[in-house]
């Protein structure tokens, strides 16, 4: 549970910093339109802080969850996926704010990596659900 609370705190801090960066970076560059950079803040808070607060609650309910087979895999896979997602959103957002023209290849690469990162996040979510199912089954027995 402590690891989940620590991760939640880290995501909260990084999420808040992401919001400040978006606000200040767009203001500094005179950007007033819509940009993906605005979503970095909410993604970090929801996919990071809130998810790990919920996982911490599950750890309280299922005392064996942190030792469950696959839980460490969830932590690694999910965090890698969220980090990749947020980095690609930041890259896309910075290019939008700066008005940079991306080549077709660079645009496709950003979209492709973002897509793969979303798949990794989904794999982490599935792994967590499987861990919860295992804990529930063990509790019934």
Which whole number is the average pLDDT over 40-57?
A: 97
Per-residue pLDDT at 140 exceeds 90: no
Share of the chain above pLDDT 70, in %: 99
Residue positions counted in the chain: 141
Burial group, residue 121, by CB count within 10 angstroms (0-12, 13-18, 19+): buried
pTM (global) more than 0.85: yes
Average predicted confidence (pLDDT) for the chain:
95
Domain limits of the chain?
Answer: 2-140
């Amino acid at each position: 549970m402590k690891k989940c609370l620590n991760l939640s705190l880290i995501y909260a801090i990084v999420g808040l910093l992401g919001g400040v960066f978006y606000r200040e970076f767009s203001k500094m560059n005179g950007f007033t339109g819509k940009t993906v950079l605005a979503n970095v803040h909410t993604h970090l808070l929801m996919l990071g802080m809130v998810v790990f607060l919920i996982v911490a609650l599950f750890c309280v309910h299922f005392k064996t969850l942190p030792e469950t087979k696959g839980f460490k895999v969830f932590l690694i896979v999910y965090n890698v996926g969220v980090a990749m997602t947020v980095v690609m959103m930041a890259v896309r957002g910075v290019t939008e704010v700066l008005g940079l023209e991306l080549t077709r290849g660079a645009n496709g690469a950003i979209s492709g990596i973002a897509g793969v990162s979303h798949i990794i996040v989904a794999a982490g979510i599935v792994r967590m659900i499987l861990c919860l199912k295992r804990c529930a089954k063990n509790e019934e027995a």
